[in-house]
Structure 1
Amino acid sequence: MTKKRPLTRVNTSVPGADVAVETAAAMASASLVFKTSDSTYSSTLLKHAKQLFTFADKYIGCYISSYEDKFTRAASWLYHAIGDQSYLKYVAGVTEYELVNWGSPTWLSLGERLAITQHPVASAFLASVYSDYMLTSQTGKITCGNDYFKPLDLRKFAKSQADYVLGSNPLKMSFLVGCGDKYQIHASQRGFKIPIDATTGCKDGFKWLYSTDPNPNVAIGVLVAGSFFNETYIDSRNNSMQAANHI
């Protein structure tokens, strides 16, 4: 490819909390994998995970995208790996009511102005898994602030999110490509929109980007970003905020 790809880095002058804590989460989780087989390597991973988390927490700034949810993921893995209560308190302080809504909204649980179906889908999965854990451990309820939830509540929440993504929404549209009678036909990735037998160069993709024809390659099973908070969706390849595939 002829496009320039300059190297960049994050530091105290040019912070990138999102990248730092994502790496911290990966290292903390990996430390658990190697804890028994290679304790030295596991300790090294954990050491750097803690350093990266501290760096990101002190020098807030984005390299690519938002960082709030990434902090909770990193703190969760660090708590799981170390057992330090400060990480658990960090998770509780950030996520309670700010990132999760356990009600039964028409919209997705983490929907703000941006289209982000990957987050509520992940939340639905975790809620489903945790409801199984509650049943197995005979835990009757969990609390969140002044509210409490039973295993069935978590199941209902998970189902509401999955149903929304699969078409039970005001648009009557499935955000999972290939599922249902109405779904996105202009998912934006190059592999979907450029015919398999096309001969192209690095700068030839625009004619397919702006084409109104359906994608020649149906990306069955791809989850696109989805609708905005006001329940609108523009099925256009150039609408990367909504038509980009997330999973």
Structure 2
Amino acid sequence: MTMKLVSFFLLVLAMVVTVRSHDYGDALTKSILFFEGQRSGKLPSNQRMTWRKDSGLKDGTEIGVDLTGGYYDAGDNVKFNFPMSFSITMLAWSVIEFGDSMGSDLQHALDAVRWGTDYLMKATSFPDFIYVQVGEPYNDHNCWERPEDMDTARTPYAISKQFPGSEVAAEIAAALAASSIAFRYTDFSYSVDLIRRARRVFDFADQYRGFYNDTLQPWVCPFYCDFSGYQDELLWGAAWLYRATLKSFYWDYVVKNAHNLGNYNEFGWDNKNAGINVLVTRLKTSNADLFIENADKFACSLLPESPARSVEYSPGGLMFKDGGSNLQHATALSFLVLVYSRYLEESKREVSCTCSLKADKNRFIQLAKSQVDYILGSNPLGLSYMVGYSGNFPQRIHHRASTLPSIDKHPDFIDCNGGKAYSDSNNPNANELTGAVVGGPFKNDTYPDDRVNFPQSEPTTYINAPFVGVLAFFKSHSSS
């Protein structure tokens, strides 16, 4: 790409993006509040999203196990532990990296982490037997019911020695290990419990290797199939265990298995490769050169001006990758480049993308800020993709609890068929799911405010979780 084309590209972005300032602190508060709207189980007395009520109180009872709690992953009522664990890992990482910038929201962020880890501790309470999902997904997805009313099967699904699932087990281990660091200075006893369980779960994932697709394919696909294999989760889990324990065994494991790393450009609930490379830069250990080299390549691949760009950009400046719920990429990749910018600052270096293209920490901060501002409303539509932020945001999100009237307004039971009238309606949702970030616009910056288009209108925990850290950073670096 010539410098003239680069200049023209950046000029176009500057012209189409509405310039405005944003209240990152307000957006941070709302992004954490969203997780209260996704809670399953017995809600606490300090629940702030009060239109949500208790749900899933019998989860696990049919087999004599307490599996209450945790999060619904998106607009449905199933608890998928694979994306849930990734969301908890990212919430914990947000606290670890940017908790100092959260102010009064730090405790709410920790509460959000703990709501997840308490559930994961229940799901892993039996040695060599891990519960990885609650709810029969096809029946659930065919019903439009409030979680408080759901009467579809709450079947628990598990992995074991004979029926392994290394990717989901290793992701749970990563979530518990990262969370143990987040709680180290506020609840040391709980932190110790988390790391002990993380080590046991990781050992299980590594010793009994296998794809959870093979074990649970009819129930996890096509919802959360594993497409990248389980090697990335094993390295991800080991890297987090090393950061939490500083035990050389885990770092040796990462180095020994580094050849199993795949595409350095990918990161999300299914693929941890880019996250591993960036995480290693925070470990301050030897033999990290290979990972840092890949982290450099990853960072360069996001720059609009880079000839090795691995993402596309909309005319309004939003990064795009293949697949639905595109804002999951914008938030997760923005988080990684902010973390990497910290490494660049501490190591006093810049990245050489090409002979003529060099980028320092400020360039990557600028890149992340462009994505945050776009999501919050600096885009051609002037639309905030975070529900409740600014006066212009999606009104018809794909989310059962938000769409249907709350029990406060409609105490009578609404069955599966009764909810269809609400899902098919063109009316705005009955309840504001404050802080929810939806899947986002099409590649041409258009957005139909229509709950039927779920890749655009459905919020997920794994879109919001990395966004928490990003917003915390810009709350204290608003002039960046």
TM-score (norm 1): 0.75
Moved more, 197-206 or 22-31: 22-31
Aligned-partner Cα distance in 2 for 1:193–1:40: 38
Secondary structure of the structure 2 residue equivalent to 1:10: strand
1:72 deviates by 4.5
- Between 1 and 2, higher relative CO (CA 8 Å, sep ≥ 6) is seen in 2
Establish whether residue 156 from structure 1 lines up as the match of residue 366 from structure 2: yes
Query: Is the alpha carbon distance of 1:95 and 1:88 closer, same or farther for their aligned partners in structure 2, counting shifts above 3 Å?
Result: farther
Secondary structure of the structure 2 residue equivalent to 1:186: coil
Secondary structure of the structure 1 residue equivalent to 2:342: helix
Give the equivalent residue in structure 2 for 1:103: 303
Tell me which amino acid in the other structure corresponds to 2:211: Y
Q: Is 2:387–2:437's contact at 8 Å kept on the other side of the alignment? A: yes
Give me the identity figure in percent: 24
- How do 1:80-159 residues align onto structure 2 when only pairs under 5 Å count? 80=240, 81=242, 82-84=250-252, 85-86=254-255, 89=258, 93-99=261-267, 101-104=301-304, 105-107=312-314, 108-109=318-319, 111-135=321-345, 137-142=346-351, 149-159=359-369
Aligned-partner Cα distance in 2 for 1:71–1:225: 28
State the number of aligned residues: 243
Establish whether residue 201 from structure 1 lines up as the match of residue 410 from structure 2: no
1:212 deviates by 0.6
1:244 deviates by 1.6
Aligned-partner Cα distance in 2 for 1:216–1:17: 40
Aligned-partner Cα distance in 2 for 1:55–1:143: 41
Query: Is the alpha carbon distance of 1:231 and 1:89 closer, same or farther for their aligned partners in structure 2, counting shifts above 3 Å?
Result: farther
Query: Is the alpha carbon distance of 1:103 and 1:186 closer, same or farther for their aligned partners in structure 2, counting shifts above 3 Å?
Result: same
Query: Is the alpha carbon distance of 1:20 and 1:77 closer, same or farther for their aligned partners in structure 2, counting shifts above 3 Å?
Result: closer
Paired residue for 1:26, among 175, 185, 206? 175
Give the equivalent residue in structure 1 for 2:204: 51
Query: Is the alpha carbon distance of 1:40 and 1:129 closer, same or farther for their aligned partners in structure 2, counting shifts above 3 Å?
Result: closer
Secondary structure of the structure 1 residue equivalent to 2:157: coil
- How do 1:161-240 residues align onto structure 2 when only pairs under 5 Å count? 161-196=371-406, 197-203=409-415, 204-229=418-443, 231-240=445-454
1:155 deviates by 0.5
Q: Is 2:397–2:450's contact at 8 Å kept on the other side of the alignment? A: yes
Tell me which amino acid in the other structure corresponds to 1:139: K
Q: Is 2:167–2:211's contact at 8 Å kept on the other side of the alignment? A: no
Tell me which amino acid in the other structure corresponds to 1:76: W
Secondary structure of the structure 2 residue equivalent to 1:97: coil
Secondary structure of the structure 2 residue equivalent to 1:192: helix
Tell me which amino acid in the other structure corresponds to 1:140: R
Aligned-partner Cα distance in 2 for 1:118–1:215: 22
Give the equivalent residue in structure 1 for 2:224: 65
Query: Is the alpha carbon distance of 1:14 and 1:128 closer, same or farther for their aligned partners in structure 2, counting shifts above 3 Å?
Result: same
1:43 deviates by 5.1
1:124 deviates by 1.5
1:158 deviates by 0.6
1:242 deviates by 2.3
Aligned-partner Cα distance in 2 for 1:217–1:30: 31
Deviations 1:115-150 (A, max 9, x none): 231342133233224323432x24212467998641
Q: Is 1:106–1:169's contact at 8 Å kept on the other side of the alignment? A: no
Q: Any stretches of 5+ residues in structure 2 without a counterpart?
A: 1-149, 243-249, 268-297, 305-311, 465-480
Aligned-partner Cα distance in 1 for 2:348–2:379: 32
1:114 deviates by 1.0
Moved more, 121-130 or 151-160: 121-130
Aligned-partner Cα distance in 2 for 1:123–1:20: 24
Deviations 1:189-225 (A, max 9, x none): 2332223412342413222111111123233321111
1:151 deviates by 0.4
Establish whether residue 75 from structure 1 lines up as the match of residue 235 from structure 2: yes
TM-score (norm 2): 0.43
Query: Is the alpha carbon distance of 1:41 and 1:231 closer, same or farther for their aligned partners in structure 2, counting shifts above 3 Å?
Result: closer
Query: Is the alpha carbon distance of 1:149 and 1:244 closer, same or farther for their aligned partners in structure 2, counting shifts above 3 Å?
Result: same
Tell me which amino acid in the other structure corresponds to 1:210: D
Tell me which amino acid in the other structure corresponds to 1:201: F
Aligned-partner Cα distance in 1 for 2:442–2:230: 21
Moved more, 162-171 or 67-76: 67-76
Aligned-partner Cα distance in 1 for 2:439–2:171: 20
Q: Is 1:115–1:229's contact at 8 Å kept on the other side of the alignment? A: no
1:172 deviates by 4.3
1:184 deviates by 0.8
Query: Is the alpha carbon distance of 1:75 and 1:41 closer, same or farther for their aligned partners in structure 2, counting shifts above 3 Å?
Result: same
